[in-house]
Amino acid sequence: MTEPRTAIVTGAARGIGAAIALRLAEAGHRIAVVDLRVADTERTVDAIIAAGGEAIGLGADVANSDDVASAMVRVVDDLGAPTILVNNAGILRDSLIFKMSDDDWDSVIGVHLRGAFLMSRAVQAHQVAAGWGRIVNLSSTSALGNRGQANYAAAKAGIQGFTKTLAIELGRFNVTVNSIAPGFIATDMLRETAERIGMSFEDYLAGAASEIPVGRTGTPDDIAAAAAFFVSEEASFVSGQVLYVAGGPKA
């Protein structure tokens, strides 16, 4: 029987984050659904509550230390001390390096890396006090390099080093830290990418699927399943790992 705990999932208004929040709620955990605007969290929160779970929505910029501190107070007051954290919040500002602006770089690094740092630093205090914890960080196959994504690739590669370091530091407190590196997952974010390059979403997905060994693109539920494993008691001896969920092998 899974012991109900308080979990925070960032970037959980839609897509992968929403799927993870719903999956962890199904396992009995209380969920803090965090996204940039609280109004955007309502659909995920309502879905969790409709299924019999417990959830609150919070608006916070994870790259802002004041926002993170305020969110943490609210989580503790409303749901109890958080011992599960899924750092999923992310943005894209794709551009070739010669066209990439300072803001394109800083905003992506800020949300992905600074955001994961601020959230993890805040939550680890509760995990250490409880003598139990799970942190799951979202990386990407782009960490291996991807044209037009110098900022995103650097951030996602950084997430992997961050994950391994926290696993070393927090392991003695019974806290595991792992990373999921999704491949091509059909989300609204990629729908926007397809629109930007002038392709239909269907053609974009079909083109990607043709290059994936299992012959299909991924879904948010594929990533949620991996997150649920890392959070589980069965994964207590798995830490510092990067799991590529990409329909085929990655280096």
At 141-199, the pLDDT tens digits run: 999 999 999 999 999 999 999 999 999 999 999 999 999 999 999 988 778 778 878 88
Q: Which helix (H) or strand (E) holds 137?
A: strand 133-138
* Residue labelled with tokens 């799951």: 136
Q: Encoding tokens for residue 182?
A: 């999704």
pLDDT digits (tens, 9 = 90+) for 208-239: 899 999 999 999 999 999 999 999 999 999 99
CB 45 within 8 A of CB 33: yes
* Residue labelled with tokens 């914890």: 133
152 is catalytic: yes
Q: Which of 132, 152, 162, 184 is catalytic?
A: 152
Say which residues have a Cβ less than 8 Å from residue 212's Cβ, sequence separation at least 6. 183, 184, 246, 247, 248
Q: What is the pTM of this model?
A: 0.96
- Please give the Cα distance from 235 to 133 (Å, whole number): 11
